[in-house]
Amino acid sequence: MKTLIIAEKPDMGRNIAAAIEPKAVNKRTHLEGSQYIITWAIGHLIGLAEPDLYDDKYKKWNFTDLPIIPDSFKLLPNPRTKDQLKVIAGLAKECRDIVNACDAGREGQLIFAYIQQHLKLRQPVRRLWISDLTPETIRRGFAELKDGSAYEPLTKAARARSEADWLIGMNGSRAFTTKHGELLSVGRVQTPVLALLHDRQKQIEQFSSVKFYEVEAYFDQRETAYRGLWQGDRLTDKEKAEAIAAKVKGKPGHILSYEIKDTKEYPFRLYDLTLLQRDANARFGFSAKKTLDIAQALYEKHKVISYPRTNSNYVNEQNIPEMHRALDALKGTPYETLAAGANKQLVHKNNKAVCNPAKVEDHHAILPTGKRAGSLSPEEQKVYDLIIRRFLSQYYPPAEYKMHTVLTEVEREKFKTTIKQLLSLGWKIIYENDKSAPKDTSKKSGGKPAEGKEGPDGDGPSEPEEELVDTPFTLALDEPVHCRDSAAKEKETQPPKPYTEGTLLKAMESAGKQLENEELRDAMKDSGLGTPATRAAIIERLKNVGYVTMQGKRIAITQKGRSAVELIRGAGVELLTSPEMTGQWERRLNEISRGQASDATFMENVKKFTRSIVEKVSVQPRAAKTLFESAQADAAEAGGKGKSRGGSRSGGTRTRGSTRTGDAAASRASGTRASGAAAANSASGDREVIASCPREGCGGHIFMGNKGYGCSNYKLGCKFVIWKESLGKTLTPAMIKSLIEKGRTNKLKLIDRSGSPIEGRIVLKDRNLGQVEIETVT
């Protein structure tokens, strides 16, 4: 009898066959050779059953039926792929043993485990665990197959994750939906991610900008000119700042201290999936899902990179020779010149920035495979280029600088200067001609004066930004200096920035903590929100259920999203919105996968928490209908976006039936499409009030419409409107509120009427018509 190989997808099955059974006969649903029969799942062939398969009463959503906690979970085949499941069942009967060749990770393990359980497969199982699909790797993987029992802890973690999500998603979604008469999706991971977005938006809205002043002075000593920033408590008095500037201008001074230090900047670490998604979002505006899809195509279709769904930035010792071969393979490609300058001696087993087996679990960092990239699409080429350049940078020395820190005193006033003098580009030469690469954030000396780094809440002295120079910088400590010029500059504290998909991925990885240190980032990897493989889907989920929308690169939370977070917190189940606690759950799942924690204990705690959700929601007052009016209008404007045909998804699990309260709410949402005559407006009852209309005597309210912000009294003749796209900026409700109530926005990067970029504030020029203009900021 032959061995049955079950791959996760058809492409993977064909790749395996090409490597170990090149003469296998293609029988459409499988490939058959002399020793192996290779077939495949098509993603998740089987999932957890719906509640109504436990009891018909669950077809209708009733609060009194909650919580739903099965004694044991039932499985249900996906009706769209049930034929392939039958194929696997038939082939298994003909084979003596099975190789699990699904993706080497938690979800791949779950796909196979559900097939094995549902089909009652009793044959011995061995596990294929590989990180790329090149023939050499596949053949080596088959030579090193492990007994399936070695991966039992991973299977337990996968089941626990799936069942925990079912319990919380099903019960949480049904509890809040039936209680409040609005379809509200709740999930173990998606809800704390939504809470991150909610809290950031609140921080932005509640932020109160504060003016302060910085005093800059420009010094000369012989041939050297440099700029210094005044040191002292934050200046909020304009006259005091101007007095200091006038006091030192044209006066002699001396150098109090002058420190020179050699520094090195080493290459960024190899990519894991989250870092790749963040970079692709920052540079190209790609969504997390788009980057994942492209990376998956580079792995499965083109076979030019290793397994992308990894959370590691390191490799194992055995990967080092593979890296060197991949480097050699770049000869004769557009990267040939950079490959020729690479030094293999820099990449070795003792270089812990590259090779660190202790930080490699399921998969190593994303690497090129050594296979030549053929006909890549432009978008595939962009992601491939990121991976290749990050890989090449490991073979180059660090960039070297001299850091000059100067403290200058004039008229008993002190000024600090930091100069970053380039000595050697090192690895940065790889990005020198790459227009999409992030540039050195230091300011070029002699250019526009750099703004200080004072944070929005700090009260101490501003730190001068480093000024980057590529020519020698020298000062004599014992010689005088001359203050050629000085000026008091008006500054303004800035609110936190809205999340992009890239910055949200970073927050998810660290469970909302602001972690810049790489070691801390590594420590949090086991306790982030979701996994590298699931984070993109979570963000897409928030879009699909109407909780967030995209405004360019920025993620904006909708009224429905805000209401969901506030209702969940109001019910007293803050744990559902807690990134830290959900991160701890993810850590526990990782411990289960390593055999360090009990899946049974984990599930008992999840069940207790599920019961507490239902108990707390049961005593929560029903939400006012007005809480969702804006949300219903948003759904109508999108043509019912977020509502699926034949039902909807709640908490990540498909729910069926048409008599649910949630479906009725969704139907109401899709039937409230506004039909205002003005493009900027729609019916006032369907919109969140942003501000009162500023036109004297109007008495109307400003609402957001399709193309702009207009007055509810437009039918009565009010012509006030501000278009969303104005002066090169997409205006947000918070900006409109600031314009109407304060007469201006914070400082923004704008485009003036001539099409030139400019920094300034948008000011409300005409309070009757809504005309706006730019106020330049010096």
Active site positions, annotated: 307
Q: Please report which residue ranges of 144-236 form alpha helices under DSSP H.
A: 152-180, 190-206
Angle, helices 579-593 vs 599-618, to 10°: value is 150
As a whole number of Å, the CA-based R_g of the chain is 30
Q: What is the DSSP code (8-state) at residue 678?
A: S
Question: 512: Cβ–Cβ under 8 A, 6 or more apart, which residues?
Answer: 192, 196, 529, 579, 580, 583
> What is the rounded distance in angstroms from the CA atom of residue 744 to the CA atom of residue 763?
4
Q: For the stretch 444-474, what's the b/e string if a residue is b when 16 or more beta carbons lie within 10 angstroms of its beta carbon?
A: ebeeebbebebeeeeeebbebbbbbbeeebe
> What is the rounded distance in angstroms from the CA atom of residue 229 to the CA atom of residue 464?
6
> What is the rounded distance in angstroms from the CA atom of residue 170 to the CA atom of residue 438?
43
Please spell the DSSP secondary structure of 433-479, one letter per residue.
T-TTSPPP-SEETTSSPPPP---TT--SPPPPPPEEESS-----TTS
Question: SS3 for 108-169, per residue?
Answer: HHHHHHHHHHHHCCCCCEEECCCCCCCHHHHHHHHHCCEEHHHHHHHHHHHHHHHHHHHHHH
Tokens of 723: 């278009």
Question: 517: Cβ–Cβ under 8 A, 6 or more apart, which residues?
Answer: none
> What is the rounded distance in angstroms from the CA atom of residue 117 to the CA atom of residue 111?
10
Q: Do 543 and 549 touch, CB atoms closer than 8 A?
A: yes
> What is the rounded distance in angstroms from the CA atom of residue 542 to the CA atom of residue 649?
12
Q: What DSSP element (H or E) covers 47?
A: strand 46-48
Q: Do 634 and 597 touch, CB atoms closer than 8 A?
A: no
What 3-state DSSP class applies to 378? helix
Q: What is the DSSP code (8-state) at residue 223?
A: T
Q: Do 705 and 688 touch, CB atoms closer than 8 A?
A: no
Tokens of 474: 């020298």
DSSP-assigned beta bridge partners for residue 773: 763
Counts of helices then strands in the chain (DSSP H, E): 21, 30
Question: 538: Cβ–Cβ under 8 A, 6 or more apart, which residues?
Answer: 187, 189, 190, 193, 508, 529, 530
Provide the residue type at 680 as one letter.
A
Q: Which residue has the tokens 């509810």?
A: 712
